[in-house]
């Protein structure tokens, strides 16, 4: 009986490791080449396993895409929470979060959210809803922190700022408005964050913002 239980546990661990390997490899390929161009064959070849093994874990490509997307979202959310817990000033915090997100999304070279919206609209809607809840809460806290630190103007409406920030961040990823050949995503993110902050900073906040921008350009 004990041998059978150990065997079952071993099989469960193996299945978990296998699924993680499939998800991690697929996520890497999707971010590098886009959701549409990568096939289940590509993923199987990259891992060195049969496509049948992948289908034993995921019924179809859509299920795999959804798992990859939501797992990445949860991972990024946890990382953002760690940055917030560092208690940096409000301006530095936003730049740290931006740098962290970009590094884990491969600088969005394949514009994953745009492709997700185009080819997997249901998954995109679910992701966007969760992104709003996360970003809305984070920006509200960030604005309140900036107000307490004297970095943001005391006549701003935190709720408006949080919502307009999310709207803007979502809009700049629309390639119909900002084609990637004209607006590289890294430059676009930097420009949007500066645009956002310059509208709400105090003179004290402006000095910190200018120092960060100047140091990033060196």
Model confidence pLDDT, tens digit, residues 88-122: 999 999 999 999 998 887 655 557 777 898 899 99
CA pair distance 139, 161, nearest whole angstrom:
8
- Which among 193, 161, 87, 166 is positioned nearest to 153, based on CA atoms? 161
- Would 159 be classed as within a structural domain? yes
- pLDDT at position 218 is 58
- pLDDT at position 12 is 56
Residues 6+ apart with CB under 8 A from 65: 26, 30, 35, 116, 120, 123
CA pair distance 105, 193, nearest whole angstrom:
17
Instruction: Give the mean model confidence (pLDDT) for residues 132-156.
Output: 97
Per the structure, the count of domains in the chain is: 1
- Would 111 be classed as within a structural domain? yes
- Would 151 be classed as within a structural domain? yes
Give tens-digit pLDDT for 19-62: 999 999 999 999 888 899 899 999 999 999 999 999 999 999 99
Residue 155 confidence (pLDDT) above 90:
yes
Name the phi and psi angles at 174, rounded to 5: -85, 110
Residue with tokens 């809803």: 129
CA pair distance 122, 142, nearest whole angstrom:
30
- Would 96 be classed as within a structural domain? yes
In angstroms, the Cα distances linking 32 to 38, 85, 185 are 9, 30, 14
- Would 127 be classed as within a structural domain? yes
DSSP conformational letter for 172: T
**CA quadruple 95, 182, 165, 80: dihedral positive or negative?**
negative
Task: Write out the residue range of the structural domain in which residue 208 sits.
Answer: 62-217
CATH code, 202:
1.10.357.10
- Would 137 be classed as within a structural domain? yes
Of the pLDDT bands very low, low, confident and very high (cuts 50, 70, 90), residue 141 is very high
- Would 37 be classed as within a structural domain? no
- pLDDT at position 9 is 46
pTM attached to this predicted model: 0.84
- Would 20 be classed as within a structural domain? no
More confident residue, 52 or 15: 52
Cβ atoms 133, 126 nearer than 8 A: no
Compute the half-sphere exposure of residue 10: CA atoms within 13 Å on the CB side of its CA: 6
Paired tokens of 107: 């600088």
């Amino acid at each position: 009986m004990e041998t059978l239980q150990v065997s079952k546990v071993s099989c469960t661990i193996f299945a978990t490791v296998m699924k993680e390997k499939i998800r991690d490899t697929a996520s890497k390929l999707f971010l590098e080449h886009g959701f549409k161009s990568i096939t289940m064959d590509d993923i199987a070849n990259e891992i060195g396993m049969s496509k049948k093994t992948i289908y034993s874990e995921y019924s179809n490509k859509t299920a795999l895409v959804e798992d990859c997307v939501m797992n990445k979202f949860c991972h990024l959310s946890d990382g953002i929470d760690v940055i917030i817990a560092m208690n940096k000033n409000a301006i530095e915090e936003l730049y740290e979060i931006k740098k962290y997100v970009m590094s884990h999304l491969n600088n969005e070279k394949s514009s994953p959210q745009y492709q997700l919206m185009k080819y997997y609209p249901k998954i995109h809607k679910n992701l966007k809803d969760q992104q709003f809840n996360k970003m809305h809460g984070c920006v509200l806290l960030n604005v309140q922190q900036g107000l307490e630190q004297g970095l943001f103007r005391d006549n701003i409406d935190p709720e408006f700022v949080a919502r307009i920030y999310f709207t803007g961040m979502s809009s700049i990823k629309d390639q119909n408005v900002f084609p990637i050949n004209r607006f590289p995503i890294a430059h676009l993110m930097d420009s949007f964050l500066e645009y956002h902050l310059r509208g709400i900073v105090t003179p004290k906040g402006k000095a910190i913002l200018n120092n960060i921008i100047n140091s990033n350009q060196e």
